[in-house]
Amino acid sequence: MRRAVERSVDEVVAVCAEERIDCDLVRGGTLTVAQAATEHERLLAGGHGELLDAAAARARVNVAGVKGARYFGACARVQPAKLVAGLAGAVERRGAIVHEHSTAVEIAPGRVRTPGGTLRARWVVRATEGYTARLPGLRRAMLPVNSSMVVTEPLGDDVWAAIGWEGCETLLDGAYAYCYLQRTADGRIAIGGRGVPYRFGSRTDTAGELADGTAPALRRRLERLFPVLRGVGLDGAWAGVLGVRRDWGASVHCDRDSGMCWAGGYAGEGVAASNLAGRTLADLIVGRDTELTRLPWVGHEAREWEPEPLRYLAVHAMYATLRTADAIEARTRRQSRLAALAEVLSGR
């Protein structure tokens, strides 16, 4: 399964080249950096990829006080909106019709109801990910987890000389409540994480606005990673939702009799995984028995999320526990066992 996801990164790279999709793609791998000794201990204890000592990590990205990093090659930086627009163009060139602004209010075998009319089709694929809970009967199928990002103003050459980061690796910090970053093609840094993780009743907000306090929290994290950015201007901020299933596992489903298919639950890793799911669904729909259709996520079931208010309490408790574990570790400089509790709460 892991190899299949990793190969999907190559697949996205190949499709972008073939279809001439310009999405700022750099196949630079990903770095998880440890600033605290406890984070470093966790990095040493395990994970995918190659361990880098402090000097080797700093040679890639000059993170303040970095103790070490893990480098994993099967990762690429993309500008996701450009990727989506490019893919839409590619399918339209092959004759597909993309209907934007047509909300599916009900999805049933052979039938998708929208405010403007009902579509009928032999095959229906539900790929609504973090927005699934809005559909009738699916309120507890997928948890919409929010993630928020901010982006800096373009940084000057002197700042980039201090930071390095010439390989454009995507970056993760080593905290439990982690942040993720990328160096953008136009010389900014985008950082995401934090924010309000979940809204009561699986409500999803379409405005993409950040909750109060999220942008300052992301700025503080950015400045702790790169003190040279103290006081840097932020040019933009946005939030979106990820789809998370009760066991945090993604899956792909295809019922040949009814023609009803769905895929999702990629949590924060859906750029490559949704590509794999798409190719897997294509094989399932045309009835091909392939390596992809035998992957363990095909037909994988997970139970539903708890009804409210339990769902709200559990998700907020999980995130609060992760943040507390980070705070305890920062204070005591020892591994906190609290994170294990968060894993239990989340059902991971």
Ligand X SMILES: Cc1cc2nc3c(=O)[nH]c(=O)nc-3n(C[C@H](O)[C@H](O)[C@H](O)COP(=O)(O)OP(=O)(O)OC[C@H]3O[C@@H](n4cnc5c(N)ncnc54)[C@H](O)[C@@H]3O)c2cc1C
Q: From the CB of residue 136, how many other CB atoms can be counted at a distance below 10 Å?
A: 10
Bridging pattern class, strands 30-34 and 170-173: parallel
Give the N- to C-terminal CA distance of the chain in Å, as an integer. Answer: 17
264 is a site residue for ligand X (CB under 6 A) = yes
Sole window of 51-59, 228-236, 261-269, 330-338 interacting with ligand X (rule: CB under 6 A): 261-269
Choose the stretch contacting ligand X; rule: CB under 6 A; options: 127-135, 160-168, 294-302, 323-331: 127-135
Q: Which residue, 281 or 345, has its beta carbon nearer to ligand X?
A: 281
Of 90, 271, 282, 285, the residue at the interface with ligand X (CB under 6 A) is 271
26 to 45: interface string for ligand X, x by CB under 6 A: --------------------
Stretch that binds ligand X, among 44-52, 124-132, 218-226, 280-288 (CB under 6 A): 124-132
Q: Which residue sits closest to ligand X, CB atoms considered?
A: 270
Options 83, 149, 181, 339; binder of ligand X; rule CB under 6 A: 149
Q: Tell the smallest beta-carbon distance from residue 241 to ligand X (Å).
A: 6
Between 103 and 332, whose beta carbon lies closer to ligand X? 103
Contact flag: residue 214 with ligand X (CB under 6 A): no
Taking the complex as a whole, the smallest distance from the CB of residue 239 to ligand X amounts, in Å, to 6
Count of residues of this chain found to bind ligand X when the rule CB under 6 A is applied: 24
Site for ligand X in 97-116 (CB under 6 A): 103-104
Residue 85 backbone phi and psi in degrees, to 5? -65, -40
**Candidate list 63, 67, 129, 252; residue touching ligand X; CB under 6 A:** 129
Instruction: Work out whether 266 is an interface residue with ligand X (CB under 6 A).
Output: yes
What is the spatial distance between Cα 246 and Cα 346, in angstroms, rounded to a whole number? Answer: 8
Question: What distance in Å separates the CA atoms of residue 175 and residue 185, rounded to the nearest whole number?
Answer: 26
Min dist. Cβ of residue 123 to ligand X (A) = 16
Q: Which is nearer to ligand X, 104 or 159 (by Cβ)?
A: 104
Q: In the set 240, 261, 281, 297, which binds ligand X (CB under 6 A)?
A: 240
Residue with tokens 């948890």: 143
Task: Enter the tokens of residue 254.
Answer: 């295809």
**Binding residues for ligand X (CB under 6 A):** 103-104, 127-131, 134-135, 147, 149, 180, 192, 240-242, 264, 266, 268-272, 274
